[in-house]
Every structure is written in structure tokens, then in C-alpha cells.
Structure 1
């Protein structure tokens, strides 16, 4: 599985240096030099890791961190020139998974990144009741029965499970699942895909136990 990594850093030289230091066939990099660019990329892609500078030209990375963590399951390593204890505490309390102050060793950053991505790998398998969902091997089952899922259904299921207990808006699901560059996606496509997913997973798809509709907002995988 190729891991998608977003680097949000306004220092272009440092950004390029991080890419070179982390270069790996298993990593696919995207770069943003402003929060606006980062927000656009997050709408269009699903990242496993974000390396986020705290000080950016158009705002504070901490607020962006809070927004991302409230919407998606993604690991975040914060970068900052500040080494004050309050900045570290604020970053961690806002959801950062790790925190590195500048200047830093690229070897240390590489080790921290590898640690976070190992955690992501283990998070790609979910065992819930009789379900076994392994997104690494793409094997899905309920009890002893294998479940065949389309690519769209796999994306939907992963987003719901990665954010279980939280409501994901219809627009976010449309942006994340149908991110092939199409200018317009019929919202009915989401409703149809959710129904097909329920038909495959739920005992009674008309009375879903797991995938709940939050009317007027979106969908949620209910935490048991």
C-alpha cells in the first residue's frame, strides 16, 4: 500500500529537503506552501500523514490541525520554530501525533515518520463484531463469509470506519470518494453506494445497525 504524505511548509527549500530525505517507493508526496493550498489538497485526497508547519503565511497551523482531526483519521507531525512548552502542549492537545522543533535532523524526522506510518498500517485492519475488514490485503468478511466490495464501497467503508462515532458530511464523502477530477458528481451516486454497502454488511439494510444516516448532514459508523 502506498502512503500519501502531505507536507505543509512555506519554506520551499525545507519542503524539498524533507521530500528528498523521506524518498521511498512506498510514499507519494504532495506539497502545500499555504493553508489554502493544504485545504484544497485535503478535499481532493486522502492522506495517511501530514507534516504541518505551525507558522504559515495565511494562518496558524494549529487551527488547521483541529479542523483536520475533527474530520479525518490522519496522523499529523507538527513542525515549528518555537520550542516553548506552551506551543508543544497546544499542538499535542489539538491532536498532533508528534511534534518536532526547528532546526531538526532529517534522520530524526524520517524515524518519526516511519513510526507514524507503522501505526497507520495497523489501523487499516478493523475487527468489529463478526466483521473483519483488512484494507491492506483488501480482504473483507462477516463471520466465515467473504464480502466483495467495489473500489467505491471500499473507500466509503474506510472513511466511515476511520471516523467511527463521528458524522461525515455528504459533501466530504463526495469529495473524498469521487476524487477523480470530475467536475460534477450526482449526489444520488452516494445514496446508491451507501445502500449497496448496507445491503452487503447489514442484517437488515432497511434498519441499519452500523451505518446510520444523520439526516440533513451525512453518515456515521456507530460505535458499539
Structure 2
């Protein structure tokens, strides 16, 4: 049974969302406050978390940050009435995977939920092939048009995170946390930009080659599925 967790303080809206998402093979557990959510999430596994941002006892963003800091990789979809770009950037940088503003249609919500569940269930491929690229993460062998491309360890980590999240924008803060994992207390502000630039120069050296690594200004980077 696939299980979704919903944190929404509006009782009517929460009931509507739960009814829209429940199926014979899918259950929805609900909470209305941060305190209830933290208690229910203890020791339980969910395929997806849907979290309201503005709550009676705090912000859902705090829960997102706590979960990511604890190493939880479960997909998270944020619900909020805030539709400013800054709010979206803040949510993504906190560790959320997607963001939807109120009011929204249940059809759109179901589509977003379905996409996140498929993404969360998909195992990370050890060999990824796209266009002229063949990326073997198990053997750490990377080729473009059959020729070996030498990547540093940092470039390999960055490439893997982007490919595993292909089609989705990964915030800069998330990339820094996932790539620079050697315990350093400080990472230079431009380290990520420099690494992205070097990776591009190696994978997209041919001017006629497809452009896979897209900059999403103000947020982060995305590996394009169909460049």
C-alpha cells in the first residue's frame, strides 16, 4: 500500500485533497499542525509528503529543513497561498521537490503527485545514456561520442545529482550540500558555478552538441531530458 502524508490546517481542503488522492492502492494520512506532523512522521515511512507552509504553530518549511538535515530523501510537495517568486525559491532551497500555490485544481495536484511518486520510486540508474553521452556511474567511466571524458570527483558527484533529478530544477543550496560532503565548514560561494562551468566544457564541448545542463536563474540547475 502506497502511503502519502498530508499536512494541511484547512479541514475542508485537507479532506478534499485526501479524497482526490486516495485509491485502492494508496492511503493518505493527515495532520493539521506541525506538532501533529512531527509526531506522526516518527518511525513511519511515506512515499510522498504534501506540506502546507502557513500553519497555526509555525511553518512547513521548518519541517522540510529538519527532514533534509536528518537525511530523509522522501519527495516533498509544498502547498501555500504565497505566489511570489521569492517564496518558491525559498521553498526549493529548503529542500522541497515541488511547489503549488493555492487555489489549485485537484487535477493539477494529482498530476504533480503522480510525477513525484514516479520520480521517488525510480531507482538511480548506474548507466545513463542520452544522445552522445554514456555515463557509467558504477565504473566511473564517462564518454561523449565514444571518447572518454575525464571528470574530477566533484564533477562526478554534481553530474550524478543532476542526472538523478533530471527534468527537475535542483536548488543551489541542495547541490552544495549533496556535492561537498567532506565535512568542510565553508564552501566558496562560486565553487558550484565554477564546477558547473567545467562540467559543461567537458560534456558540451562541441558547439553543435545538445545543451543538457540548464541554468535556472535565481534557483539552481536542471538536467534537461529533451534539450
Per the alignment, residue 112 of structure 2 pairs with: 112
In 2, the alpha carbon distance for the partners of 1:26 and 1:80 equals 27
Matches within 5 A, 1:32-111: 32-71=31-70, 72-111=72-111
Question: Which sits farther off after the overlay, 95-104 or 41-50?
Answer: 41-50
Over 3 Å off, 4+ runs: 123-130
Instruction: Give the equivalent residue in structure 1 for 2:29.
Output: 30
Consecutive unaligned residues in structure 2, runs of 5 or more: 128-136, 140-177, 182-227
Query: For the Cα contact (< 8 Å) 2:126–2:138, is it kept in 1?
Result: no
Aligned residues of 2:21 and 2:28 also touching (Cα < 8 A):
no
Measured after TM superposition, the shift of residue 73 of structure 1 is 1.4
Cα pair 2:52 2:79 within 8 Å, conserved: yes
Point out where structure 1 has 5 or more consecutive residues left out of the alignment: 131-162, 167-224
Q: CA deviation at 1:42?
A: 1.0
1:27-81 alpha-carbon deviations (Å, 9 max, x no partner): 1211000001111111131111010000000001111111112221110000001
Alpha-carbon shift at residue 15 of structure 1 (Å) = 0.5
> Secondary structure of 1:44's match?
coil
TM-score (norm 2): 0.54
Distance 2:57 2:79 in 1: 16
Deviation at 1:125, TM superposition (A): 8.2
> Residue 26 of structure 1: CA displacement?
2.2
- 1:117–1:60: structure 2 CA closer, same or farther, 3 Å change rule? same
Instruction: Give matches, 1:1-224, under 5 Å.
Output: 2-71=1-70, 72-123=72-123
Q: Deviations over 1:80-134 (max 9, x none)?
A: 011111111100111111100000000000000000000121138889969xxxx
Mapped to 2, the partners of 1:44 and 1:38 lie a distance apart of 12
For residues 61 and 21 of structure 1, do their structure 2 counterparts lie closer, same or farther at Cα, with a shift above 3 Å needed? same
The separation in 2 between residues aligned to 1:117 and 1:47, in whole angstroms, is: 10
When residues 100 and 37 of structure 1 are mapped into structure 2, their CA distance, relative to the original with a 3 A threshold, is same
Distance (whole Å) between structure 1 residues aligned to residue 49 and residue 79 of structure 2:
10
CA–CA distance in structure 2, aligned partners of residues 68 and 3 of structure 1:
20
Cα RMSD for the two superposed structures: 2.3
Task: Report the TM-score when normalising by structure 1.
Answer: 0.54
